[in-house]
Amino acid sequence: MYISAIQLNIKRNLQIILIGLIILETVLVLLALIPAQLWARLLPMLDSATIDGPFPPVIAPLVAALLYIVPTVIGFLANCWQRALLYATLPAWIGLGLFVIAATFKVGAFYLLSSDHIVANVSVLELFAALGGIGWLCRYVFKVR
């Protein structure tokens, strides 16, 4: 009885960490999708705003690394491969969806349907799905149940 209570507590804590990682990745994706010109207008006092966005140049590589590491960790923490793929791609779905809606106001309703944008959006989703899948497969390397 006591062991199952501990296991339940660990499971709940892992779910909270998983939700936090999904939120973190969603915020990072949203920040990455904001055009460089907008960062330059919003942050004129930062010389590197067009390159690094709102992040100082010192931590910008860490942010880029997190865009790859977090979906992998999300996949690692998921219980099954379906959830690993869903949870790892969910931030990209949300970020790309909001970006397409925002771009529609400026570019037009068929922004998403142009061939170069379809390829870029699908590539982002494929990347996040692959990273989540790799994270889930790592469970077997480290013998996590």
How many Å apart are CA 4 and CA 135, to the nearest integer?
A: 26
What whole-number percentage of the chain has pLDDT above 70?
A: 93
Q: What is the pLDDT of residues 89-117, one digit of tens each?
A: 999 999 988 888 887 787 777 766 777 77
Closest CA to 32 of 79, 6, 70, 5: 70
Domain ranges of the chain: 2-141
Q: Between 112 and 59, name the one with better pLDDT.
A: 59
Please report the pLDDT score of residue 46 as a whole number. Answer: 75
pLDDT reading at 2 higher than 80: no
How many Å apart are CA 88 and CA 86, to the nearest integer?
A: 6
pLDDT reading at 124 higher than 70: yes
Please report the pLDDT score of residue 18 as a whole number. Answer: 95
